[in-house]
Amino acid sequence: MKDTSPAPGDTETLQTVRIWDPLLRLFKWALTISVVAAWGLGHFGPDQMTLHFWFGYAVLGLLAFRLLWGLWGPEHARFSSFAYGPFSILKYVFGMFRRKPSYWPGHNPVGGLFVFILLGALLLQAGSGLFVDPDDYINVGPLAKYVGSETTRAALKFHVQMGWVVLGLVALHVAAIAFYSKWKGENLVTPMITGKKTVRKDL
Protein backbone atom coordinates (compact mmCIF):
# COMPACT_ATOMS: atom_id res chain seq x y z
CA MET A 1 0.00 0.00 0.00
CA LYS A 2 1.19 3.50 -0.81
CA ASP A 3 2.65 5.28 2.22
CA THR A 4 1.07 8.73 2.39
CA SER A 5 2.80 9.99 5.53
CA PRO A 6 4.37 13.41 4.92
CA ALA A 7 8.10 13.84 5.07
CA PRO A 8 9.44 16.51 7.46
CA GLY A 9 9.40 19.91 5.81
CA ASP A 10 6.88 18.97 3.13
CA THR A 11 4.42 21.66 2.13
CA GLU A 12 0.97 20.13 2.49
CA THR A 13 -1.91 20.91 0.18
CA LEU A 14 -5.18 20.19 1.93
CA GLN A 15 -8.74 19.55 0.90
CA THR A 16 -11.94 18.64 2.73
CA VAL A 17 -13.55 15.56 1.21
CA ARG A 18 -16.18 13.00 2.12
CA ILE A 19 -14.38 10.00 3.61
CA TRP A 20 -16.88 8.11 5.75
CA ASP A 21 -20.08 6.89 4.09
CA PRO A 22 -23.48 7.14 5.88
CA LEU A 23 -23.77 3.42 6.63
CA LEU A 24 -20.30 3.27 8.18
CA ARG A 25 -21.10 6.29 10.34
CA LEU A 26 -24.40 4.74 11.42
CA PHE A 27 -22.54 1.50 12.22
CA LYS A 28 -20.00 3.39 14.34
CA TRP A 29 -22.60 5.08 16.55
CA ALA A 30 -24.92 2.08 16.74
CA LEU A 31 -22.00 -0.12 17.81
CA THR A 32 -20.93 2.44 20.41
CA ILE A 33 -24.43 2.55 21.92
CA SER A 34 -24.83 -1.24 21.85
CA VAL A 35 -21.44 -1.95 23.44
CA VAL A 36 -21.85 0.64 26.19
CA ALA A 37 -25.41 -0.52 26.93
CA ALA A 38 -24.46 -4.22 26.96
CA TRP A 39 -21.45 -3.60 29.23
CA GLY A 40 -23.43 -1.40 31.60
CA LEU A 41 -26.35 -3.83 31.81
CA GLY A 42 -23.96 -6.73 32.31
CA HIS A 43 -22.34 -5.09 35.32
CA PHE A 44 -25.06 -2.90 36.79
CA GLY A 45 -28.27 -4.01 35.14
CA PRO A 46 -31.15 -6.09 36.48
CA ASP A 47 -30.60 -9.70 37.45
CA GLN A 48 -32.58 -10.79 34.42
CA MET A 49 -30.25 -10.01 31.52
CA THR A 50 -32.78 -9.95 28.68
CA LEU A 51 -31.77 -6.46 27.51
CA HIS A 52 -28.10 -7.35 27.90
CA PHE A 53 -28.61 -10.28 25.55
CA TRP A 54 -30.47 -8.16 22.99
CA PHE A 55 -27.72 -5.57 22.91
CA GLY A 56 -25.25 -8.43 22.51
CA TYR A 57 -27.21 -9.70 19.52
CA ALA A 58 -27.13 -6.16 18.13
CA VAL A 59 -23.33 -6.15 18.45
CA LEU A 60 -23.10 -9.44 16.56
CA GLY A 61 -25.42 -8.18 13.83
CA LEU A 62 -23.39 -4.97 13.49
CA LEU A 63 -20.15 -6.96 13.31
CA ALA A 64 -21.64 -9.09 10.53
CA PHE A 65 -22.51 -5.91 8.63
CA ARG A 66 -18.97 -4.55 9.20
CA LEU A 67 -17.48 -7.72 7.76
CA LEU A 68 -19.54 -7.38 4.59
CA TRP A 69 -18.89 -3.63 4.38
CA GLY A 70 -15.18 -4.23 4.93
CA LEU A 71 -15.11 -6.49 1.89
CA TRP A 72 -17.52 -4.78 -0.50
CA GLY A 73 -18.16 -1.30 0.89
CA PRO A 74 -16.76 2.05 -0.28
CA GLU A 75 -13.01 2.59 -0.50
CA HIS A 76 -12.26 3.83 3.02
CA ALA A 77 -14.60 1.29 4.64
CA ARG A 78 -12.76 -1.66 3.10
CA PHE A 79 -10.30 -3.59 5.24
CA SER A 80 -7.78 -3.44 2.41
CA SER A 81 -7.59 0.35 2.76
CA PHE A 82 -6.20 0.18 6.30
CA ALA A 83 -4.48 -3.23 6.44
CA TYR A 84 -0.96 -1.82 6.81
CA GLY A 85 2.22 -3.83 7.23
CA PRO A 86 4.58 -3.65 10.24
CA PHE A 87 6.94 -1.18 8.53
CA SER A 88 4.17 1.32 7.79
CA ILE A 89 2.81 1.01 11.33
CA LEU A 90 6.23 1.60 12.93
CA LYS A 91 6.96 4.51 10.60
CA TYR A 92 3.69 6.14 11.58
CA VAL A 93 4.31 5.53 15.31
CA PHE A 94 7.69 7.29 15.13
CA GLY A 95 6.06 10.38 13.65
CA MET A 96 2.70 10.42 15.38
CA PHE A 97 3.85 12.51 18.34
CA ARG A 98 4.68 15.52 16.17
CA ARG A 99 2.42 18.32 17.30
CA LYS A 100 0.54 18.72 14.03
CA PRO A 101 -2.48 17.06 12.39
CA SER A 102 -1.74 13.99 10.30
CA TYR A 103 -4.45 14.75 7.70
CA TRP A 104 -4.50 11.03 6.97
CA PRO A 105 -7.13 9.90 4.44
CA GLY A 106 -9.18 7.26 6.24
CA HIS A 107 -7.71 5.19 9.07
CA ASN A 108 -4.01 5.78 9.72
CA PRO A 109 -1.79 2.69 10.24
CA VAL A 110 -2.16 2.66 14.04
CA GLY A 111 -5.88 3.39 13.84
CA GLY A 112 -6.33 0.64 11.26
CA LEU A 113 -4.58 -1.89 13.49
CA PHE A 114 -6.76 -0.83 16.39
CA VAL A 115 -9.91 -1.37 14.31
CA PHE A 116 -8.93 -5.00 13.68
CA ILE A 117 -8.12 -5.55 17.36
CA LEU A 118 -11.35 -3.97 18.58
CA LEU A 119 -13.57 -5.84 16.11
CA GLY A 120 -11.87 -9.11 17.02
CA ALA A 121 -12.29 -8.48 20.75
CA LEU A 122 -15.96 -7.60 20.33
CA LEU A 123 -16.55 -10.73 18.27
CA LEU A 124 -14.98 -12.90 20.97
CA GLN A 125 -16.87 -11.08 23.72
CA ALA A 126 -20.30 -11.22 22.09
CA GLY A 127 -19.76 -14.68 20.62
CA SER A 128 -18.80 -16.22 23.95
CA GLY A 129 -22.00 -14.82 25.45
CA LEU A 130 -24.01 -17.15 23.24
CA PHE A 131 -22.68 -20.16 25.18
CA VAL A 132 -22.81 -18.96 28.80
CA ASP A 133 -24.84 -20.71 31.48
CA PRO A 134 -24.54 -19.19 34.98
CA ASP A 135 -26.71 -21.99 36.46
CA ASP A 136 -29.52 -19.59 37.31
CA TYR A 137 -31.86 -21.06 34.67
CA ILE A 138 -32.58 -17.52 33.45
CA ASN A 139 -29.56 -15.88 31.83
CA VAL A 140 -28.61 -18.78 29.59
CA GLY A 141 -27.07 -18.20 26.18
CA PRO A 142 -29.08 -19.52 23.22
CA LEU A 143 -26.33 -21.97 22.21
CA ALA A 144 -25.48 -23.23 25.70
CA LYS A 145 -27.71 -26.27 25.29
CA TYR A 146 -25.54 -27.52 22.45
CA VAL A 147 -22.33 -27.75 24.51
CA GLY A 148 -21.30 -29.36 27.77
CA SER A 149 -21.34 -27.80 31.23
CA GLU A 150 -17.56 -27.36 31.28
CA THR A 151 -17.77 -25.37 28.06
CA THR A 152 -20.58 -23.15 29.36
CA ARG A 153 -18.62 -22.40 32.55
CA ALA A 154 -15.50 -21.63 30.54
CA ALA A 155 -17.53 -19.41 28.22
CA LEU A 156 -18.94 -17.49 31.19
CA LYS A 157 -15.49 -16.91 32.68
CA PHE A 158 -14.09 -15.86 29.31
CA HIS A 159 -17.09 -13.58 28.68
CA VAL A 160 -16.49 -11.74 31.95
CA GLN A 161 -12.75 -11.41 31.33
CA MET A 162 -13.26 -10.16 27.78
CA GLY A 163 -15.67 -7.56 29.15
CA TRP A 164 -12.75 -5.92 30.93
CA VAL A 165 -10.59 -6.19 27.82
CA VAL A 166 -13.29 -4.42 25.81
CA LEU A 167 -13.56 -1.72 28.50
CA GLY A 168 -9.79 -1.19 28.27
CA LEU A 169 -9.94 -0.90 24.49
CA VAL A 170 -12.81 1.59 24.67
CA ALA A 171 -10.84 3.66 27.20
CA LEU A 172 -7.81 3.54 24.90
CA HIS A 173 -9.98 4.65 21.98
CA VAL A 174 -11.29 7.63 23.95
CA ALA A 175 -7.75 8.50 25.05
CA ALA A 176 -6.56 8.41 21.43
CA ILE A 177 -9.35 10.76 20.37
CA ALA A 178 -8.36 13.15 23.18
CA PHE A 179 -4.68 12.88 22.20
CA TYR A 180 -5.41 13.77 18.58
CA SER A 181 -7.65 16.64 19.64
CA LYS A 182 -5.46 18.22 22.32
CA TRP A 183 -1.95 17.36 21.15
CA LYS A 184 -2.21 17.14 17.38
CA GLY A 185 -5.12 19.55 16.89
CA GLU A 186 -7.06 17.02 14.82
CA ASN A 187 -10.78 16.44 15.37
CA LEU A 188 -11.67 12.78 14.79
CA VAL A 189 -15.25 12.94 16.07
CA THR A 190 -16.82 15.47 13.70
CA PRO A 191 -15.82 13.52 10.54
CA MET A 192 -17.66 10.49 11.98
CA ILE A 193 -20.77 12.68 12.18
CA THR A 194 -20.54 14.61 8.91
CA GLY A 195 -18.48 12.12 6.91
CA LYS A 196 -16.13 14.92 5.79
CA LYS A 197 -12.48 15.11 6.73
CA THR A 198 -9.58 17.41 5.89
CA VAL A 199 -6.87 15.38 4.19
CA ARG A 200 -3.73 15.90 2.13
CA LYS A 201 -4.38 16.37 -1.55
CA ASP A 202 -2.49 13.99 -3.83
CA LEU A 203 -0.15 16.03 -5.98
Between 124 and 138, the more confident residue is 124
Kindly list the structural domains of the chain, giving each domain's residue range(s) and its CATH number in brackets, ordered by start: 14-200 (1.20.950.20)
Q: Is it the case that residue 6 has pLDDT exceeding 80?
A: no
**Low-confidence winner among 8-17, 52-61, 160-169 (lowest mean pLDDT):** 8-17
Encode pLDDT of 64-110 as tens digits. 999 999 999 999 999 999 999 999 999 999 999 999 998 998 999 99
DSSP collapsed to 3 states, the chain: CCCCCCCCCCCCCEEEEECCCHHHHHHHHHHHHHHHHHHHHHHHCCCCCHHHHHHHHHHHHHHHHHHHHHHHCCHHHCHHHCCCCHHHHHHHHHHCCCCCCCCCCCCCHHHHHHHHHHHHHHHHHHHHHCCCCCCCCCCCCCCHHHCCHHHHHHHHHHHHHHHHHHHHHHHHHHHHHHHHHHCCCCCCCHHHHHCEEEEECCC
Between 81 and 8, the more confident residue is 81
Percent of the chain with pLDDT over 90: 79
When pLDDT is averaged across residues 122-143 and rounded to a whole number, the result is 92
